[in-house]
Amino acid sequence: MFYDFPEINNIKQVMEAIQGKDEFVVKIDEKNGYQIVNYVVSTRDTFPEIKDINDAILRECRGITFSLDGSVISRKYHKFFNLGERTETNFNKINLNIKHWFMEKLDGSMLTPIILSNGDIRWCTKMGLTAVAEPVDLFVKNSDIPYNSFICDQVSIYNRTPIFEWCSKKQRIIIDYPEDKLILTAIRDNITGKYVYNPDELKELGNFYNIPVVNSVAGGNLTINEIQDYIRNLKDSEGIVIRFVNGHMVKVKSDWYVNLHRTMEKLLFEKDIIKLILDEKLDDVKPVIDDKLIKNLDDFSNSIFSYIISLSEKLWKISYTSYKNLNGNKKRFALEVVHPDLFNRNHSKFLFNSFDNITEDSSLLYNHLIEYIKNNLTSQTKVDQIRYLIGNNKWDDWK
């Protein structure tokens, strides 16, 4: 699981690495002056074992952010895995003779700041400026904690990305945080990818700026089996992250959290399986299911996402081309393009949405399709009604 983090200077390196891999998308935000590379589905082939620099770059494509001219402006966590989830994180692969720390696994949303061209500091999820991040903008504005001074120092002076976890009752996942908290968990160099402070140094930095930092303790003489046994029995905790001095990490989750967040009951109903897929939570169930079921879920997931990606691209091209050719005339679009005699009525609402919110790529329409499907997973009847949006895939055909 140890390899050298790749030096990334320009988005061209990333575009080369993701070429031909439909799991990855590039979201361009012309208005705010950035572009983000993220993955929308994770199959067993999305993040292969590291054999060359492109394999390593793929693991950086989880919200890595570039300016419009291609330079790196924000570098979030690299993709890392659960203990036992992959061959490289099997028990016998974890070398605890290397200096390490046990860090609390927070159950929130990963947020990172960027500084826009007008000097404003904004908060981003893996997909940029989203609704999830909006409460953080307000929280920081009203906070006595000098987040912005700290961010300016790290971003403007050192070209680094501070990585935070947003824990809020308003956006609860599993664990209930009674007070909103924005907690520093790591800092990365934007070019080298190096995690520039170990957990002890991170605490010292937090004390200097009076910024809350994730809880951590230095590793001792425990074996990986002893750690696993201890963590599995924790209550009211997601678990820990074992972070090594070289910056690499592995997640160890508690049974309590697993049983709540990824119980086998979630795999009994198709609607819940599709929701796990669209919420990108399949990784949470993999450590407690067998290899055959993992493969079936991966194949089902890959087929669904591939179809949604293809459909969003197809519908966006139609709306985008029509918008240009018709000079934005919606009436002509309705009569000449989306007329029920000319086009599948099931897709008309998405074409109109894309036409009304015209963009330079299909990412907005893709997100609209995902949200629409998720909002219609309340019953099996609803699933059947929107099955055309997932390529008519049925879980019964894959399991």
Domain boundaries, the chain: 74-255, 267-397
pLDDT of residue 215: 94
Instruction: Tell me the whole-structure pTM to 2 decimals.
Output: 0.69
Which residues are bridge partners to 101 per DSSP? 218, 243
CB under 8 Å to 295, separation ≥6 — which residues? 44
Q: Are 30 and 360 in contact (CB under 8 A)?
A: yes
Residue 137's pLDDT is what? 93
Residues 6+ apart with CB under 8 A from 89: 1, 81, 82, 83, 250
Beta bridge partners of 112: 124
Q: CB–CB of 11/70 below 8 Å?
A: yes
Find, among 161, 177, 174, 171, the residue nearest to 134 by Cα.
171
List of the chain residues with pLDDT < 70: 172-174, 258-265, 287-290, 341-343
First to last CA, the chain: 30
Helix, coil or strand: residue 283: helix
Of the candidates 324, 322, 261, 325, the residue with the CA atom closest to the CA atom of residue 288: 261
Pick the CATH number of 74-255 from 1.10.10.10, 3.30.500.10, 3.30.360.10, 3.30.470.30: 3.30.470.30
φ and ψ of 111, to 5 deg: -130, 140
Structure confidence at residue 172 (pLDDT): 65
Distance CA 249, CA 234 (A): 20
Evaluated on CA atoms 221, 223, 224, 228, the torsion sign reads negative
Chain CA centroid to CA 100, Å: 25
Give the span between the Cα atoms of 226 and 223, in whole angstroms.
Answer: 5
pLDDT at 282: 85
